[in-house]
Amino acid sequence: MPKWEVHDKWAEKLELSKEIANFVNQLSDFPDKTQEFMEFCEREGEEIILQLVRTHDFEMIMKIPKYLQLAFARQKGSEYVMAWYLHYVMDYIRMAPALTAEEILKRTEAIFEPCQELEIVKRFVRENAEELVCDCRA
């Protein structure tokens, strides 16, 4: 994964606050150490997981941890959702060096439901792809 300083740099370029970027860094990389997220999972996680399991969609079931993080971010607000998608895409860029930024965006879009925040992040990543990829893979 890129260092948090790299995540912070790009969150700032997307005009997200350092507070939100830091919160999402913690949530994404150490969800079990994010007290507010753990409380959310205790309160609402079971119902969210049961809804996913009822779909009998194995691919969806494998997404449960990320889906819970995204549902939690959504409750906190749009900027948290954008920060979460940006963090996710940057981690993906780092983990999949054979893929282009565009391929990663297409795969991300296929995994998650379309939303305004994802569209904003996709546009931002496309506009900054060369430098962003370089920073993530450094």
CA distance 136 to 138: 6
Nearest to 23 by CA among 69, 59, 64: 69
Give me the number of domains the chain comprises. 1
Listed in sequence order, the residues at least 6 apart from 53 whose beta carbon sits closer than 8 Å to its beta carbon are: 61
Model confidence over 18-27: pLDDT tens digits? 999 999 999 9
Domain hosting 68: range is: 4-136
Three-class secondary structure assignment of 34-87: CHHHHHHHHHHHHHHHHHHHHCCCHHHHHCHHHHHHHHHHHHHCHHHHHHHHHH
Residue 111's pLDDT band (boundaries 50, 70, 90)?
A: confident
With a cut of 90, say whether residue 60 has pLDDT above it. no
Residue 62: the pLDDT is 66
Q: Quick one: 130 exposed, middle or buried, by C-beta within 10 A (0-12, 13-18, 19+)?
A: exposed
* Average pLDDT score over the chain: 91
